[in-house]
Amino acid sequence: VIARAGGLTAQAFPKGGIFLREELKEREQQQIDALRQRLRGDVASLSLQAAGSLEGASVLDARSAGSSLLATLNSTEATGRLVIDLPALLEDPGNLKYDVLLKDGDRLLVPRFTQAVTVIGEVQFPTSHLYVDGLDRDGYIERSGGLTPNGAKKRIYLVRANGAVLANSSKWFRKGNKIEVGDTIVVPLDTQRGFRLQAWANITSDRCRRH
């Protein structure tokens, strides 16, 4: 299909290729709707706990964080993105390890080349920085002013340009692989302990990343 379209231009950024599929979008939307319903129940439960607990202030803080996450989830829409390795596919088009069997309605979006690395989340100045060869994750975070008091340092994760996610616990951090052009460094919110809101923060951050 790429060959039929005349191939990629000289300005193309294959690493940032976005592959979208309608049936995946429908499945994701169902999951988002289910998560939204469960989170509403959690926030309602926290409201009841705040009313009858001696530690009402901390419960109210957790409820406030949950309400914020719910608002974010309410504005999130499914994308139907499938993570693919477009450079590998182009290099070896006959290799079934990388190729994708196409279906009606599939879309492949190939952006222009970028020179940026983006830092978002709980940092002092969320923004994009000009890529510097050899600069590590913490170096880019430092260029964004460092973490805020609410930043979860142990839960920082990296989103590759193709949508792949590398977490703190992954082998990538232990191997020390370098930051690449088009990467996004995400610093999540350090949510209250003892509540399920930490899991909701992970889920919501992942959904927002896809946009």
What integer pLDDT is reported at residue 15 of this predicted model? 93
Q: Which residues contact 50 (CB under 8 A, 6 or more apart)?
A: 56, 59, 60, 63
pLDDT on residue 16: 94
Task: Write down the pLDDT at residue 192.
Answer: 47
Residue 78: predicted pLDDT = 84
Q: Measure the CA–CA gap between 71 and 48, rounded to whole angstroms.
A: 20
Separation CA 68–CA 115 (nearest Å): 32
pLDDT of residue 66: 62
Confidence (pLDDT) at 193: 42
pLDDT of the residue at 125: 95
* pLDDT less than 50: residues of the chain: 54, 56, 174, 192-196, 198
CA distance 193 to 211: 28
